[in-house]
Amino acid sequence: MNRRNFLQVSSLGAAGMVLSRYSSFAAEFADTKKRVGLIGTGWYGKCDLWRLVQVAPVEIVSLCDVDKRMLAAAADMAAERQLSKKRPRTYSDYREMLKEKDLDIVLVGTPDHWHALAMIEAVKAGADVYVQKPTSVDVVESQSMLAAARKHGRVVQVGTQRRSTPHLIEARDRVIREGKLGRIAHVDICCYWGMGRAGNPPDMAPPDYLDYEMWTGPAPMRPFNRRTHPRGWRAFMEYGNGIVGDMCIHMLDMVRWMMDLGWPLRISSSGGILVEKTSNANTTDTQTATFDFGDLQVVWKHRTWGESPDPEYPWSATFYGDKGTLKAGVFKYDFKPLDKNAQALHGEPLYEYEKYPEDKTEKDLEKHCASAIRWHMQDLLKNIASRGKPVADIEQGVISSVSSILANLSLKVGRTLTWDPEKWQVVGDEEANRLLRRPYRAPWVHPEP
C-alpha cells in the first residue's frame, strides 16, 4: 500500500495526523549523527539497523557477532548502506566492542538469552539502547535491566514495535480511544502459525565459523543442532521462552498499550507438547494463558498444528466490547459495530516503497513491519534528544516480557500465580519464586537489580 492509498483507506484524518508526525520526525533527525553499534548481526539485528539508517544519517561504527560469516556480510552491507561508505569495526565479543565507550546508540539483536547481559553492559558504557523483545529469559534479568537503565540514566527502547505500527495506532485512536467498542471486558490474543517447531534434525559439530561456546554464553550447553543457528534457536527453552516469549509478548504488549494497562494481577497457564511429539523442539505446541487484570481478562492461545479459527487473523488480538468487536493484527484491522447503522472500519499496513524502494528487495524483511520499525526508531531518536521515555520504554517492555515469563512458570508449577510488582515476587509461592532466576553457566554471572 502506498501513502496515497493509505490515506484513502484511513479517511477521517487520523492516519493523516500520524503521517504528519512521521514527516516532522524525519525533518527533526535530518542532522542526527549518532555513532551506532549492533550486537547480533542476524535477521532482526540487520532489519532494525537498516531501518535506523533509513531515518537518520547515523554512522555505523561497530558490529559484533560470534558468527564470522554473518559478521563479515553485515559489515559489507553497512559499508554499502551508510552515507560515509566506511566499513565498521568488527568484534566477536561484545565486551571488547563496548570497552571503546565511543557509541551513542547500541542495538541488541542477539538470541534472547543474551539480551540482558549485552543491554546492561551497553548502558554502563554510556550508550542508549534498542533491545529486541523479550527483554530477557528470566524475571530477575528483566528486573536488573530496568534497574541498570534507570541507574545510568539511559534511554532504552524495546523492540515491541506494535506500539509504532501505523495502522494499529489508527485502530487505537479511532476505535478504542473514541469509545466505539464500549465496555471491554475480554480480549483474545493468539498465534496459530507453525513457528518452525516440526522436525527432528540430528545433532552435529558446530561449523568452524561459529564460536558456539560464546554463542551459548550463560545458557545451558546443548549439543549443536543445525536448527539452533541461525534463527531456529527459538525452538529451545534454553535460549528463550517459547512461543509465549516470542509471539504472545507482542500481542499482550499491544493490548496493554492500546488500553493503558499495567501489570496483570494474576496469571495462569496450561498446555504442553500435545501433538508434535516427534520434534526435538522442547517448546509447547499448545498453550493457553490468562492474564487477569481484574475487570478485564486477556487470554492467549497458541497452537502449532491444525487449523486457525480465523485464517485472516492467525496472529492477532480480538477486543470484545458491548458495542462492537475489533480484530487487530500485523496485516490489517477490522472494527465491526453491533449497531447496524454505525460505520465499520478497516485499516492496512503502510508500505513506503516510494520513499524506501530498497524495502522491496531486502532479503528477509517483513515488509509489512518496515514502517513500524522506522517509526519505532524515530521515537527512540526523539527521546534520546529529549531524554524522555520512548513509547516502548524498558519498563513497558519488562512488564510484557515478565508477564509472559510468568505464564510459562504458571504452566511449570501447575497453578495460578499472583504477582506483586512492588516486591518482584509471586505472592505466597516459594517454589515459583525460586524459578524467577535461572542458573547461569560458568563463568557467566547472573545480573543483579
Beta bridge partners of 347: 333
Strands (E), 7-111: 35-39, 59-64, 89-91, 105-108
- Whole-number Cα distances in Å, 164 to 109, 298, 372, 391, 445: 18, 21, 5, 8, 34
Grid coordinates representing 444?
557467566
Mean pLDDT, the chain, as a whole number? 94
Closest CA to 89 of 67, 117, 116, 59: 59
- Whole-number Cα distances in Å, 322 to 83, 184, 226: 53, 7, 49
Provide the pLDDT confidence category of residue 166 given band limits of 50, 70 and 90: very high
pLDDT the model gives residue 6: 42
Residue entry with cell 534457536: 233
What pLDDT, in 10s, does the model give residues 286-344? 999 999 999 999 999 999 999 999 999 999 999 999 999 999 999 999 999 999 999 99
For each of the domains in the chain, give its residue range(s) and CATH number, in order of start: 3-161 (3.40.50.720), 163-356+394-434 (3.30.360.10)
| Cα distance between residue 348 and residue 332, in whole Å | 4
Give the single-character DSSP code of 219. Answer: S
Grid coordinates representing 315?
496472529
Query: How many Cα atoms sit within 13 Å of 179 on the Cβ side?
Result: 0
| Cα distance between residue 342 and residue 6, in whole Å | 22
87 pLDDT more than 70: yes
What pLDDT, in 10s, does the model give residues 204-261? 999 999 999 999 999 999 999 999 999 999 999 999 999 999 999 999 999 999 999 9
Grid coordinates representing 349?
499496513
**For residue 357, cis peptide bond before it (omega within 30 degrees of 0):** no
pTM: 0.94
| Cα distance between residue 256 and residue 212, in whole Å | 37
